[in-house]
Amino acid sequence: MIRGRLAVGTGIVAAGAVALAVGFWPDGSGGSRGGSGDGGRTPGTATASEPAPRSPAPAKSYALSEAPATVPAVREHTPARGPGWRPGDGGRVVVGDRALADEARLIAGELRLRYAGEAKPRAGDVRLDLSEDQGRGGGGAESYTLTVKDRTVRIAAPAAAGVFYGTRTLKQEVAGGRTAPEGVVRDRPAKPRRGFMVDIARKHFSAEWIEDRIRELGDLKYNELGLHFSDDQAFRIASDSHPEVVSADHLSKAQVRRIVDLAAERHITVVPEIDSPGHLGAVIAAHPDLQLRDSRGVATRGAVDIAKPKAAEIVDDLLREYDELFPGARWHLGADEYQALTRSDPEASYPRLAAAARDRLGPDARVQDLATAWLNDRAKAVGPGRAVRAWNDGFFRGGVTKADDRVEVAYWTGKEIGAREPVEYLREGRDVLNYNDEYLYYVLGEPNDFQYPTGQRIYEQWTPLVVRGTRPVPASYDRQILGGTFAVWCDLAGAQTQEQVARGVRMPLRATAQKLWDERGPTRPWAAFVRLAGDVEKPARPAGAAKPAR
pLDDT digits (tens, 9 = 90+) for 156-168: 999 999 999 999 9
Which superfamily is assigned to 76-187 in CATH?
A: Chitobiase/beta-hexosaminidase domain 2-like (3.30.379.10)
Confidence at residue 37, expressed as pLDDT on a 0 to 100 scale:
36
pTM above 0.85, yes or no: yes
Residue 349 is which amino acid?
Answer: S
- 195 close to 272: Cβ distance less than 8 angstroms: no
What's the pLDDT score for residue 132? Answer: 78
Provide the terminal-to-terminal Cα distance of the chain, rounded to the nearest Å.
Answer: 46
Give the whole-angstrom CA distance, residue 221 versus residue 312.
37
Cis, peptide link before residue 72, omega less than 30° from 0: yes
pLDDT for residue 138: 64
Residues of the chain with pLDDT under 50: 1-50, 545-550
Architecture of the domain made up of 193-519: Alpha-Beta Barrel (3.20)
What pLDDT is stored for residue 49 in this prediction? 46
Span 369-401, pLDDT tens digits: 999 999 999 999 999 989 999 999 999 999 999
The SS3 call for residue 213 is helix
H/E element holding 427? Answer: helix 422-427
Positions marked active-site:
337
Q: Where are the domains of the chain?
A: 76-187, 193-519
The predicted structure's pLDDT at residue 45: 39
Element (H, E) at 126: strand 126-130
pLDDT the model gives residue 51: 53
Confidence at residue 269, expressed as pLDDT on a 0 to 100 scale: 98
Return the pLDDT at 56. Answer: 55
Q: Count of alpha carbons within 13 Å of 524, Cβ hemisphere only?
A: 19
Amino acid identity, position 272 = P
Residue 550: per-residue pLDDT: 43
